[in-house]
Amino acid sequence: MRSGIAGVLSAICVVALAGCGGEQFGDLKRELAEATKDFRGRVETLPQVTPYEPVKYDAEGTLDPFRPERIVVAQAGRSGGPVSKLAPDMNRPREPLEAFPLESLRMVGTIKREQQVFGLVRAGANLFRVRKGDYMGQNFGVVTVIDESQINLKEIVQDGAGEWVERTGSMQLQEAGR
């Protein structure tokens, strides 16, 4: 009896599947075939590839401008002499304000004590007292003049050729609100 039920169920499945295979979208398929019968794929021709022509390297016997020896020779030719008189003393002990870039230091006031004027300079959260001859900034800046509105200093920096040159700078008194 089981095999009979299984056979009947198989027959029902075959009939149901045969009903799904009919011409459901036949009109759509015919219209699509009619609309695309004149379409043909077209591939454009590829461009002509020119053959590779090697180029002879003519600079093989010349000196390489990027070798470190050439750079040293060029710098020595420009300086033409001993170490510059303006070169800073690299063995001098550093002062606390030399750890800060000059742009980050702020003059906030002055103090006059025993005929000597001191400048008050804020560096971060700390306040420092500077006088003429003290160093500050990262370019070997030495304080030359202190008055009530500014601190003038002289810095020693290297130019593009590696020579030491002097430049002047100043730090203006900052308003109390800043």
Buried b (16+ CB within 10 A) or exposed e, 13-29: eeeeeeeeeeeeeeeee
- 92-129 per-position pLDDT tens digit: 899 999 999 999 999 999 999 888 999 999 998 999 99
Helix locations, 21-155, DSSP H: 26-35, 68-79
* Cα separation, 135 vs 94, whole angstroms: 8
- DSSP H or E run through 2: helix 2-20
Architecture of the 96-172 domain:
Roll (2.30)
Q: What is the pLDDT of residue 13?
A: 66
- Residues paired with residue 157 on neighbouring β-strands, in sequence order: 165
Mean pLDDT estimate for the chain: 81
User: 101, 116 in Cβ contact below 8 A?
Assistant: no
Instruction: Compare 22 and 146 and report the one with higher pLDDT.
Output: 146
Cα separations in angstroms, 61 against 57, 83, 120: 10, 35, 63
